[in-house]
Amino acid sequence: MPDAFALVALLVATLRAATPLLLAGFGELVAERAGVLNLGVEGMMLVGAAAGFIATASTGNPLLGLAVAALAGALMALLFGVLTLTLRANQVACGLALTIFGVGLSALIGLPWQGTPITGLATVIWPNLDAAGPLAQQFMLLDPVVWLALATPALVGAFLYRTRRGLVVRAVGESHDVAHALGYSVLRVRYAAVVFGGAMAGLAGAYLSLVYTPMWTENMVAGRGWIALALVVFSAWKPAWLALGAVLFGLVTIAQFHAGAFGLDVSPHLLSMLPYLATVVVLVLISRDATRLKLNAPAALGKPFGAAG
């Protein structure tokens, strides 16, 4: 039987693995709540990871690297917004193109920086760390980005369901024509939601290259952007379910590294494919319940708005 220390270590590792999914997933949730389907999360995360790493390696300041990564993701999302919101191009095609573009761009700008050592984000943010017990110390050593990711579900949920601006975002996602008739700028709201989603995706990518594994490697996001997209649908566009799904996927992701501590004799190759296998299984299960998807999905999701915003 694993001891308490092993269980806490597993929980801490799960929270770290869930952090990029939480950040990218809630960014995409806000965009989709506004009626915009952006399938370019993977590409925005990769560009954010590369840009954040380059900025950190150049300046030695990981906080600046996080800011640059968020800006890079926002600019990628802005490009998507121009194509789909202003020029009214197909959102699915543009999202896929954005991912392909992000894969190539990140590989290009990150190529000279492969193997470059950096000092990652400091994790000691609590006073009197030495006075805490060994179990508490594991939580106190979580970096600030993890704490931000853990606060994101409450912050986004409060914004969407307890503020006037959140109500406008949801109204635009449900019926952009009605929102426009009431005097709201549909395009402005959707641009803001899309850019926010891009900034969160860029921040999620930077977490991988600056904190989780402080290095730059081509395609290091490794499909997490697609998992974040699947989680939004799996959660039925509800913040609480999205947070739970991200944590569960985080647990599946790090299972391969902690299986031995729990006495599980499972092939590491099987464990490494579990996150992607779980994604496929989840998508198959939720696609079988078409009624649930229709009832919970924003009614105007993926639909272009024709009037001037």
Copy the structure tokens of residue 158.
């409060």
DSSP string, 188-203: HHHHHHHHHHHHHHHH
CA 273 centroid distance within chain: 20
- CB contact at 8 A, 75 and 17: no
pLDDT recorded at residue 66: 96
Sketch out the chain's domains with CATH numbers: 4-115+129-296 (1.10.3470)
CA distance 1 to 39: 42
What's the average pLDDT block by block, 10 residues per block, for the chain (309 residues)? 70 92 97 97 97 95 95 98 96 97 96 87 61 66 89 97 96 95 95 98 96 92 93 91 91 72 62 72 70 79 74
pLDDT recorded at residue 308: 44
pLDDT recorded at residue 141: 73
CA distance 23 to 199: 9
CA distances from 205 to 32, 46, 126, 214, 260 (A): 20, 6, 25, 11, 29
CA distance 53 to 101: 18
Burial of 285 (0-12, 13-18, 19+ CB in 10 A): exposed
Question: Nearest to residue 21, comparing CAs of 290, 278, 293, 266?
Answer: 278
Say which amino acid occupies 130.
D
